[in-house]
Structure 1
């Protein structure tokens, strides 16, 4: 099927307007790779015509949808260089910033989001651009700068400061080492990632009861989320360090019964086996060892 569409694209009648219309249909129907090919052909035939800006931007969108973020960022940049005052410049700025973020170029992405905000401060994406800029700065290791951006977001768009903004602010405070402030900011947030972060900070501050409360909420509201399994696993390991093997057994079982990331399952199984052995439950320990050996033959970790 793909070969047939490529044949149709490569041998489509040479009429620029028709080519663009065909590309629009391909994009609309989800054939992003083919749309990008068609749009490139269109731009080669008519690089400076009245429909060239639309074609160039649509090609960038198609590349982004295909996960070809480096190419997408380059095409968005080409659009902005050629048509800086175009009505769709905001869309190109947003697309380029998202592409850079996907590439892990967080500082560049933050700068691109801030450029969008500075150029269109009252645009529909202004508040989102500030939030994304803060996230990029935090990921780039600049949490204090991120907090400054979030401050502007809170002042300029007070109605937009919901849970997502509060969570990002807590992450920035955590990255700045301001754990108590981060903990307070996380209180009352109900998304899985926020509860996981709250539990982790609580553990680092020695507030186990607070961490256990976060875990209970995760187990009640999000039993299948990986955040639930991760916090249970971290608390199980802490219980082992503190010599509370009975509690560790329960927590290991909880972690393994949730959506624990696959790369952590082997160590969790062996941790559970050790905890059961130390409590005198040989059958429980052997069951976890058997599961480990049957599912992870040749794994570098080995049962005690």
Structure 2
């Protein structure tokens, strides 16, 4: 019995010891897990703090480290998503794309997938891979049609097609959004995007149809200033100025504080100017300057105000406006035609130095353009050449002509070639070089409307060089070929002088 009790007690001892060992081991394991979980939470919070403080690259790296260290942690998908978002905020779009793509592959069942796929598309959009972006945006709508991001993704797909120049595909995508999601806010925006595209394509009847659809969508008593804006633009292009004026006028009356109001006043100014109502156009252009933060529009308004004042003979007021425009021109990317207009007006008001600055900027833009407007190149150079001559910068004028022939060898510029001859002849008194310039003109531009002027210039140069027989021949050719020339009488007088005095 004693032996039995001994073994029984020993057995109980071992069982109890094993139980205590298991309890201790389990507690230690739970404690270790608790410690690891607490450490993981602290590391996640640290990375989140970096993100919130705008230290995006560091935050992205910390979130990546978190995922590598705790790949099975419940917050691993969120950490990878935030890593991609941090790279995106740092404008490192390639790294952001790779991170989102990694998340999509590693966590295919994550509830974050709609946002991940949307962000993949945004990365491509910011990389200007517009067709890839459009495809990825459409994938969001296809794979997650019930998600709140689906209509927004379709809208962005349409805009991506538009940015690529695929306007028909953009319209079809916007229409898909309109028909699939008739009750979302993006539906109205899609209609406006379609209006914009039709307007750019000069499909004005289609644009008006879309505007009518927008007016049907808007609830009674709710209006949108863009309706009046686009209706005004369409009617303006159609030449229906009263209708255009009516819509722009309604816009400024109903939405005086909207950002489109200043642009509408500018349009009203243009319409009044085209109809010859100078006082009204002045009033409208002045109003376009109120509550206007668009530097390009302000610049154009100053140009128009200066132009009208010059037409009225108020040259001091005109110059004041043009100088204001000039001060803006130094600090903004301006429309080419507007800058050209500024240069012309400054030259007209004999502000040659300021005009020269504008012409130099215009020429710089022309030389940088992949497809410059060839119809304006020679005109701009000719105008700038005249400014330099009037300014007395004759050597610079000659260099300008040389620069033109190098920069635009394929552009015909008979006016510029003629001006070269005049410059050498009349201003620099270099008659031999002027003679060559006129002769080159006559060889290249026999059908030019300026050919009679070149013929006269050639004859004058021969006369100045005392080559009277050659001069006489050129004068006779002029009288024979150009009986209606502007210089016909003077040529007769010069011919008679040579015949009676020299020959």
Q: Structure 1-normalised TM-score? A: 0.78
User: Secondary structure of the equivalent of 1:159?
Assistant: coil
SS in 1 for 2:183: helix
Does the aligned pair in 2 maintain the 1:236–1:247 contact within 8 Å? yes
For residues 254-302 of structure 1, give each alpha carbon's deviation from its aligned partner in whole angstroms, at most 9, with x where no partner exists. 2222415223433431221111232355564354245446666799844
Distance 1:108 1:235, change over 3 A: farther
Aligned residue among 93, 99, 102 for 2:123: 99
Cα 1:213–1:69 shift into 2, 3 Å: farther
Residue aligning to 1:12: none
Q: Which residue of 2 aligns with 1:216?
A: 249
Q: Say which of 294, 298, 305 aligns to 1:272.
A: 305
CA displacement 1:132-159 (0-9 Å, x = unmatched): 2222222222222223223332332222
Query: Match of 1:121?
Result: 145
Higher relative contact order (CA 8 A, sep 6+): 1
CA 1:16 to 1:91, structure 2 compared with 1: closer, same or farther past 3 Å?
A: same
Task: Report the CA distance shift for 1:81/1:239 in structure 2 as closer, same or farther (over 3 A).
Answer: farther
Match of 2:54 among 20, 23, 31: 31
Q: 1:212 & 1:85 partners in 2: Cα distance?
A: 57
- In 2, the alpha carbon distance for the partners of 1:70 and 1:235 equals 46
Cα separation, partners in 2 of 1:258 and 1:199, compared to 1, 3 Å = farther
* Structure 2 counterpart of 1:138, from 162, 178, 182: 162
What is the RMSD computed on CA atoms of the aligned residues? 3.3
The structure 1 residue matched to 2:281, chosen from 248, 251, 273, is 248
Q: Could you tell me which of 194, 207, 213 is aligned with 1:169?
A: 194
Q: 1:181 aligns with which of 200, 203, 206?
A: 206
2:87 alignment partner, one of 42, 63, 73: 63
Q: Is the 8 A contact 2:80 2:99 kept in 1?
A: yes
Match of 2:44 among 5, 17, 20: 20
Q: Structure 1 residues 282-291 or 108-117, which shifts more? A: 282-291
Distance 1:121 1:292 in 2: 51
1:227 has 2:254 as partner = no
Q: 1:237 to 1:70 in 2, by over 3 A?
A: farther
Measure, in 2, the Cα distance between the counterparts of 1:87 and 1:289.
Answer: 59
Task: Say if 2:99 is the partner of 1:75.
Answer: yes
Shift in Å at residue 184 of structure 1? 3.2
Q: Equivalent residue for 2:240? A: 207
The Cα shift of 1:113 comes to 1.1
- Alignment gaps of 5+ in structure 2: 1-38, 332-338, 349-503
What residue number does 2:439 align with?
Answer: none
Matches of 1:149 and 1:186, distance apart in 2: 18
In structure 1, how many angstroms separate the alpha carbons of the residues matched to 2:253 and 2:169?
A: 36
Please name the residue that 1:149 is paired with: 173
CA contact 2:265–2:287 (8 Å) conserved in 1: yes
Greater Cα offset, 225-234 or 270-279: 225-234
Deviations 1:196-215 (A, max 9, x none): 33332322222222322332
Which stretch has the larger CA shift, 250-259 or 64-73?
64-73
For residues 96 and 141 of structure 1, what CA distance do their matches in structure 2 show? 21
Match of 2:482 in 1: none
Are 1:23 and 1:35, in contact at CA under 8 Å, matched by a contact in 2? yes
Structure 2 vs 1, CA of residues 81 and 100 (structure 1 numbering), >3 Å: closer, same or farther? same
Distance 2:245 2:94 in 1: 43
List per-residue Cα deviations over 1:219-265 (Å, max 9, x = no partner). 23444544333343355445545544334322321222241522343
